[in-house]
Amino acid sequence: MFFNFIKNLNPLIKTNKIKVRDLGILNYMDCFEIQKQIQNEIIQIKLNNRNKSIPKNTPNYLLFVEHNHVYTLGNSGDNKNLLFDENKLKQKGIQFYKTNRGGDITYHGPGQLVCYPILDMENFYTDIHRYLRDLEGIVIETLNFFGIKASGNTNETGVWLDVGNINERKICAMGIKVSRWVTMHGLALNINTDLSYFDGIIPCGITNKGVTSISNELNKKINVNDVKKVFIKKFSEKFNAITEF
């Protein structure tokens, strides 16, 4: 009786701890399977908690990875936004996958900060729109640290430079999927990215805007780990979280 009372009073024990994991260089689909496995494990804990008097904490993860050259098409994307044919993809060593995140087509490759937060949003808040805006805010604050003024775009997801001007350009792409309030996928921030690989796609299906990178804006290469450290700090502050390595 007492445990049932506790269950009804406080059905979820929240945690603001986030485990940070660096997966190194990994093919896209291998990383996708890791994401899916972690997401499923968290969802299973949530389902099991329904039948427990004292529920178990659900973990949160911040995964970092560097992908080999790949184009990924979101579940709302258009195949026509892939400009290279199969032979061209093979010639340039680029993989192509359709995936279950939101958004259209984008590129991942060396020199990007790719981050996949796998969070139980019930540990923080349950608002997908706010979550996307918070991710944008974290990237904007990170870029500001390196002297780059960036902003969101009311018409498009992601982080941009010179919004509203003729030379408006995207520096960070985003796409997520949420199941039972558990997130997967995330963002790709161009740091030392070879921007020529964007020639094979219409990035995010947007024809009239360009792409850029931190090194392109600052005219010098930047240590990816330096950007990662700032990003983790800003992420922790935004989510009032404790990061564990």
- Provide the residue ranges of all domains of the chain, joining segments of one domain with +: 19-244
Helices (H), the chain: 2-9, 28-49, 86-92, 128-145, 214-218, 224-238
Report the number of secondary-structure helices (H) and strands (E) in the chain: 6, 12
pLDDT in tens, 216-234: 999 999 999 999 999 999 9
pLDDT mean across residues, the chain: 93
Q: Which CATH superfamily is domain 19-244 in?
A: Bira Bifunctional Protein; Domain 2 (3.30.930.10)
DSSP secondary structure string for all residues of 195-208:
GGGGGGB-GGG-SS
Q: What is the pLDDT of residues 139-193, one digit of tens each?
A: 999 999 999 999 999 888 999 999 989 999 999 999 999 999 999 999 999 999 9
CB 113 within 8 A of CB 189: yes
Return the H-helix or E-strand segment holding 169. Answer: strand 169-179
Catalytic site positions? 204
Residue 26 has pLDDT above 90, yes or no: yes
Phi first, then psi: give them for residue 198, nearest 5 degrees.
Answer: -75, -10
Gyration radius of the chain over CA positions: 19
